[in-house]
Structure 1
Amino acid sequence: MEDPLDHKGKIKEPLLSSSTTKGGLRALIFIIVNEAFERLANYGLSTNLILYLTREYGIDAVNGAQILYLHSAATSFTPFIGAFLADTYVGRYFMIGFGCIACLLGVILLWLTTIIPGARPPPCVQFHDSCESASTLQLLLLYSSLGLMAIGAGGIRSSSLAFGAEQLGKRDTLKRAGILESFFRWYYATVSVALFLAMTCILYIQDNMGWKVGFGIPVVLMILSTLSFFLASPIYVKSKAKAGWLDGFARVLVASFRNRSIKLSSQVKDDVYHHRKGSRLLVPSEKLRFLNKACVIRNPKEDLIPDGRASNPWSLCTVDEVEELKSLIKVIPIWSTGVLMSINVLQHSFIVLQASTMDRHITSKFQVPAGSFTAFQLFSSVIWIALYDRVAIPLASKIRGKPTRLGLKQRIGIGILSSSAAMAALAIIESVRRKTAIKEGFSDDPNSVLHISALWLLLYFFITGFAEAFCGIGQNEFFYTELPKSMSSVASNLFEMGLSVSNLIASLLVTIVRNFFKGNDQESWLSSNINKGHYDYYYWLLAGLSLANFIYYRACSKAYGPCKGQEGNATDGGEALTDED
């Protein structure tokens, strides 16, 4: 590909005007727009979906939440599959294009449920009328739309960022680093703005103009997203697929099993190992020694071909491949603590139901849509990130007289502990809300609006935003720092994989609580009638589990040891406060 940058690292004019030059800035614009519109459409539908399921389909709150948990789990897991398929078989361009079409079909099907009378059950007032349940065909249409949306989102999100980076050419020169970093910043900034608009503007339209218009706008947005991507097809740089990292992991496991009879020397340096040309890793580490058998050379004449490569990659791997798998296994315990923490962040369906029964007026004529309250969490995270980066760090550095910041694992621990406090605050708010409902005589009517301000919920979002700013960002940075550079695609998907597992665990937990935890009146804690159940007890349970998760995290943190570059607490030329006690 022709170099789109001049000797100063700036984009040359042909990139903007020549029809023969591929990649560069103009290609990035189309990719960012494609991703932004997809997020805007998807989140504009999913955020308020709990109200659509309960009011239009007659699905009770708990079953509706479980449907959304599974949908969210699929949406978080499909990028992992998409990344593997794109890297190994079909390429990133094909994967994003497939995702656009699948997502467009999904949002169209969901919109059709609002305009076709027979696509959903007849209207009725829940808990007052004898409501007709949705038929199998109606549910099939609903689930198909959600499934296509999840598949489509996975296709786009799995490859969009990496596909954008491809448009800048090779990454082995410093002059490209600035524009690549700028692309990442604009990518995440645009996605954040899209999420905020989805949680505010689109939800406001749904609340005030109805589901037909409110679900129709995401269809238009998804059409624009698809057109944005395909219109720029002639100018994209399209790399071919090659063997992915998952193949490397599989080879290490198979080779270590095949070579299980090998007896390793007591000293690692006494064995002969296979390594890549130019690699700095000549011998494997002592941890997880059984995997070292995958890279031991038993007979150089049989195990290696003349150019130094393994004659059978499934019997002999390189030291680098073995160490990559080890590094992944090593971060799994800390990754699992983030999985448990994310369950607290995934309570939006229940919180939307709570907000819908509370007074949401800001002025006498304007009230915040129930689903828009989740936007306060995003806003809170941004505020906390800015305060930490621009106020806390400079102030601490000034007091200590040298550059200072919190260690990675310390930030993760603070976030996990804060999530427990967030659930405790939510439990108290729900307890007051429930008592207000009973006092005002609405225990049998969960749809009535109570005389209690929904702004109390902002306390939960305020603390949860703090927890996300520390734990969420901390874990992402932890994965990128601790995993080898060759595993950057794994690092970028680990957090999303955690969200997928969190949704599945949250769904299982809801099922257990609903079936086995009941109050004195034998009403389930998670009753379909939010005023009769004890959702506050459920939140207290999550607060307790989060506290136990913090203790578990401390154990995992100590077992892991210091992060890379933190020996002696020195990082990046400054000082990081210790991750250990």
Structure 2
Amino acid sequence: MCCQLENTNVIESPLLQFTCMERGRHGLTSKVTVTNEQQQRATIYTSSAIRQAQLHHQSIAYIPSDYSEIKSSWLGEERMEIVADDQEQTTQEVTRKKGGLRTMPFIIANETFEKVAGVGLHANLILYLRNEYNLSSASGAYILSLWGAISNFMPILGALLSDSYLGRFRVIASATLISLLGIIVLWLTAFIPNARPPHCALAKENMQACVSPNRGQLFLLFSSFALLSIGAGGIRPCSLAFGADQIDNPTNPNNQRTLQTFFNWYYASVGISVMFSVLAIVAIQDVAGWVVGFGVPVGFMLLSTIFFFSGSSLYIKVKAKKSLVTGFAQVIVATWKNRNLALPPTDSAAWYHHKGSKLVAPTKKLGFLNKACVIRNPEKDLDCDGLPKDPWRLCTIKQVEEQKGLIRVIPIWSTGIVIAATLNQHAFPVLQANTMDRHLIGSLRIPAGSYGVFGLLTLLLWVAIYDRKLVPLLAKFTNRPRGLSNEQRMGMGILISCIATATAGVVENKRRATALRQGFADHPRAVVDMSANWLLPQHCLVGLAEALNIIGQIDFFYSHFPKSMKSIAMALLALGAAVGDLVASLIIGIVNDVTKRGGKASWLSNNLNKGHYDYYYWLLSLLNVANFFYYLLCSWAFGNKDEKEYDDGEAMEEVEMHPSIGSPIRRAGV
């Protein structure tokens, strides 16, 4: 009779008692003693080691059937502690329950209120920067693009921090408080008059009569942006995975159904909160002003904080472990350290791999990385358990092949940068709508910052129609279970982005001509006799382009990565969005500087009627056309392969997804 865990010492006793002592890397200990008197006594001294063994996919090889209750207490949601007193023949049982569906209101409320607050701030912010900080349209758009880049990059660091060092609970808790502080600081910029420069009527298109913000005022504004980015970096990558931690129980036969229910409610809450923000919060800012308009998000973020910490005693708090990012870094470092090694033959025993792996030799592609998994001297490189003494000098074949898989998709990934840069133009459509007739139907007037909701609705509508109606129809013609291939969807998304930006240019050309014809050349705030509903086609096309390209990217990465790299798909998407925002800010800066030379009005002039935003949109359309041909080249070079190149043959653990890192609802700042 024995109890066995991976990486455990097993001690057997003639008294039919067994003890398991974990000596793994988690520094946790679990001791179990069961005596002959099975029906009378049991003594369990346990920490969270067994739970950690389950979460890290360590196996329980054998536990006697008589002790199934003990086993269930280890693996289920219940933490059971039984204390026996041999002298008094009494048993005290205390059951502690953690996690479960009862924690969902706290977690979903935290994410929902955070989204309402964050998206409600971002949607209309270009008008705040222009009207209250006297910044030009180009400067405001540049700042927002840069802020978007930082906000999209921070979740990658947040995911690394939570997975490798602090754990999800600590990261979310810290990020929630930081986000609350950031929103309060932004609200103070509206509440304190001296926190902003004197109000300018914007009578002149060059804003020479307006007072620019001083360093202290800009420092306060940028501090709020920095705090909000740090907060988003902690909440976005961890919230969904933290919720899954509470209900993920592999021993439960309904585990998958429970997880799917949670995911459905999670994404439903995200979609509802985003639409509520874009419509309601923006309307409040438009009608009640910035003090109230920023105060409402402060209230929502405060509710988010209260809800999250209210459930603290109920949460399962999984401790940090090694992340894939660390593994990738180890491959690079080990390759460099072993750069002078000669590669052994394919059938050599010098290739290092885990026991039981079918990968006993690396593939020949990107062969320079193979040096990272070469055993130079078994006595010096491996410990008594056959594990690397220095993982920064010796890696497994699996690690190397995962690195190769990542490198192979980089060209395809890079095509998403331009589409992210061209579609993430949040600011300029708001400025256009602000100078047009915004009555949708009858007397119903839409705030300028709320028109982006039509792109979101198009994205959600396409996803629903495509999955339920078009996939079965297309599958009959393409012989693919998912209708269109991932590569086809990505390419179609790039083409539609070309049409979207070209359409935006045509509409702006018409709006500008109407303004000049009506004598508004020197009146940038005048409302032209043209319906803002003309902006709907470009918003809908942008939503459709994202539904095809962005979701296509996610499916593409998932289909070509092994199970252990699923979270990398979302990290790549977030990184692409971050680089895209950086490219967008670079394009804005270059276009603004080049086109205003010689005393001319910039294409991105603060006065839309004297600028040429139509030319700017057409420039973006040309960039998308060039990106489409670049995509065709990358797709041809990648080849038509529906499966990953190698079969690792290992029971690789499922790494948690981080969907909020790079959500498909990217335009809304989710």
- Is the TM value for this pair above 0.5? yes
Q: Deviation of residue 299 (structure 1)?
A: 2.4
Deviation at 1:549, TM superposition (A): 0.6
Name the residue aligned to 1:305.
Answer: 383
Q: Deviations over 1:231-288 (max 9, x none)?
A: 10001111111222222112111111111112225x6344631112333322212211
**Superposed counterparts of 1:63-142, under 5 Å:** 63-128=139-204, 130-142=209-221
Counterparts of 1:222 and 1:429, CA distance in 2? 37
Q: Distance in 1 between matches of 2:270 and 2:577?
A: 18
SS of match in other structure, 1:504 = helix
Equivalent-residue separation in structure 2 for 1:339 and 1:213 (angstroms): 36
Which residue in 1 is equivalent to 2:603?
A: 525
Check conservation: 2:183, 2:224, Cα contact below 8 A. yes
Q: 1:463 aligns with which of 541, 545, 558?
A: 541
Distance 1:448 1:456 in 2: 17
1:228 and 2:304 are equivalent in the alignment: no
**Correspondence for 1:452:** 530
Please list the CA deviations of residues 458-478 of structure 1 after superposition, one character each: whole Å capped at 9, or x if unmatched: 110121111111101111122
Kindly report which structure 2 residues correspond to 1:177-256, keeping only aligned pairs within 5 A, or say none. Answer: 177-256=256-335
Q: Which residue of 1 aligns with 2:650?
A: none
Residues 401/554 of structure 1: CA separation in 2 closer, same or farther (3 Å cut): closer
Q: Which amino acid aligns with 1:184?
A: F
Specify the code of the residue in structure 2 equivalent to 1:231: S
Query: Is the CA contact (8 Å cut-off) linking 1:480 and 1:492 kept in structure 2?
Result: no
Partner residue in 1 for 2:502: 424
In the alignment, the residues of structure 2 paired with residue 507 and residue 480 of structure 1 have an alpha-carbon distance, to the nearest angstrom, of 30
Give matches, 1:427-576, under 5 Å.
Answer: 427-517=505-595, 522-565=600-643
The 2-side partners of 1:282 and 1:401 are apart by: 35
Query: What residue identity is the alignment partner of 1:237?
Result: I
Distance in 2 (alpha carbons) for counterparts of 1:517 and 1:283: 57
SS in 1 for 2:501: helix
Q: 1:354 to 1:19 in 2, by over 3 A?
A: farther
Whole-Å Cα distance in 2 between the matches of residues 76 and 171 of structure 1? 32
Verify the 8 A CA contact 1:295 1:319 in the aligned structure 2: yes
What's the secondary structure of 2:451's corresponding residue?
Answer: helix
Q: Aligned runs of 1:27-38 on 2, under 5 Å?
A: 27-38=103-114
Q: Work out which of the two has the higher radius of gyration on C-alpha atoms and give 1 or 2.
A: 2
Match of 1:144 among 212, 219, 223: 223
- 8 A Cα contact 2:359 2:397, kept in partner: yes
Which residue in 2 is equivalent to 1:578?
none
Give the C-alpha shift of residue 385 in structure 1: 1.4
* Greater percentage in strand: 2
Tell whether the 8 Å contact from 1:274 to 1:297 is kept in structure 2 after alignment: yes
Is the partner of 2:483 in helix, strand or coil? strand
Question: 1:320–1:106: structure 2 CA closer, same or farther, 3 Å change rule?
Answer: same
Unaligned runs of 5+ in 1: 7-11, 568-581
- After TM superposition, list the pairs within 5 Å mapping 1:347-358 onto structure 2: 347-358=425-436
Check 1:20–1:172 CA distance in 2 against 1; reply closer, same or farther (3 A cut).
closer
Relative to structure 1, the CA distance from residue 402 to residue 373 in structure 2 (aligned partners, 3 Å threshold; closer, same or farther) is closer
Q: Deviations over 1:118-164 (max 9, x none)?
A: 11122220134822221211111111111111111111112111111
Kindly state the Cα deviation for residue 398 of structure 1 after the two structures are TM-superposed: 5.3
SS in 2 for 1:20: strand
The residue type equivalent to 1:141 in the other structure is: L
Deviation at 1:528, TM superposition (A): 2.0
**Structure 1 equivalent of residue 403 of structure 2:** 325
Q: Any conservation in 2 of the 1:519–1:534 contact (CA below 8 Å)?
A: no
Count of residue pairs brought into register by the alignment: 558
Correspondence for 1:162: 241
| Partner deviation per Cα, 1:509-560 (whole Å, 9 max, x = no partner) | 1111111135998222112221111111111111011011111111111211
Deviation of the 1:108 alpha carbon: 0.7
Q: Aligned residues: percent identity?
A: 48
SS for the counterpart of 1:532 is: coil
Distance 2:251 2:411 in 1: 33
CA distance in 2, matches of 1:48, 1:280: 54
Q: Of 289, 293, 299, which residue of structure 1 is paired with 2:371?
A: 293
State the distance in 2 between where 1:299 and 1:174 align: 47
**2:412 match: secondary structure:** helix
Instruction: State the distance in 2 between where 1:335 and 1:204 align.
Output: 37
Deviation per CA, 1:76-113, whole angstroms, max 9, x where unpaired? Answer: 11111111111111111110011101100111111112
Structure 1 position 20 matched with structure 2 position 96:
yes
Moved more, 63-72 or 301-310: 301-310
CA drift at 1:22: 0.3
Give me the whole-angstrom Cα distance separating, in 1, the residues matched to 2:414 and 2:252. 36
Q: Is the 8 A contact 1:424 1:539 kept in 2?
A: yes
Match of 1:261 among 340, 346, 358: 340
Distance 1:187 1:281, change over 3 A: farther
Say whether residues 1:345 and 2:429 are aligned partners: no
User: Does the 8 Å CA contact 2:381/2:390 hold for their aligned counterparts?
Assistant: yes
Q: CA separation of 1:252/1:399 partners in 2, compared to 1, >3 Å: closer, same or farther?
A: closer
In terms of mean alpha carbon deviation, does 326-335 or 387-396 score higher? 387-396
From the superposition, tell whether residues 396 and 254 of structure 1 become closer, same or farther in structure 2 (CA, over 3 Å).
closer
- 1:102, 1:329 → 2: CA distance? 35
Deviation, structure 1 residue 497: 1.4
Question: How many angstroms apart in 1 are the aligned matches of 2:77 and 2:348?
Answer: 58
Any idea what SS the aligned residue of 1:362 has? strand
**Cα 1:312/1:173, change in 2 over 3 Å:** farther
In structure 2, give the amino acid aligned to 1:26.
R
Mapped partners of 1:280, 1:231: distance in 2: 47
CA RMSD of aligned residues (A): 2.4
Correspondence 1:279 to 2:357: yes
Structure 2 CA distance for aligned equivalents of residues 245 and 346 of structure 1: 29
